[in-house]
Amino acid sequence: MTTVIVIAGVMMSIAAVLTAYRLLDGPDTLDRLVAMDTLVAVSICGLALWAAYSMDTTLVPAIVALSLVGFIGSVSVARFRVRDDQ
């Protein structure tokens, strides 16, 4: 069980680094928005992985709140964004 959690943690760390690169180097705002959503999803998966490792269910409300904030943030940015070519 510990080996699986370590492998999943390493893979999520690699995903976070690649996503951070896309967030900083994105050619336009929609690429950055998708990268930010992906970074929020990776952090949610990291919290869920820690909750599974520690067998602690007190992190579940934090996971739900983070997913709600990520959803509302991405919808609001997509709704009110200004075009890049202006």
Q: Round the CA-based radius of gyration of the chain to a whole number and report it.
A: 15
pLDDT for the residue 32: 86
Spatial separation of the C-alpha atoms in residues 45 and 39, rounded to whole Å? 10
CATH 1.10.287 correct for 2-80? yes
Q: What's the mean pLDDT when you consider all of the chain?
A: 89
Q: What's the rounded mean pLDDT across residues 57-86? A: 85
**Local confidence band at 49 (pLDDT 50, 70, 90 cut-offs):** very high
Q: Give the pTM.
A: 0.83
The pLDDT of residue 29 is above 70? yes
Query: What residue type is 57 in one-letter code?
Result: T
Q: Rounded to an integer, what distance in angstroms lies between the CA atom of residue 34 and that of residue 8? A: 22
C-alpha pair distances (Å), 38 with each of 6, 53, 57:
20, 22, 23
Closest CA to 49 of 15, 7, 18: 7
Average pLDDT over residues 50-71: 92
With cut-offs at 50, 70 and 90, classify the pLDDT of residue 77.
confident
Going by the DSSP 8-state scheme, the letter that residue 81 receives in this structure is: P
In the chain, where the domains are located: 2-80
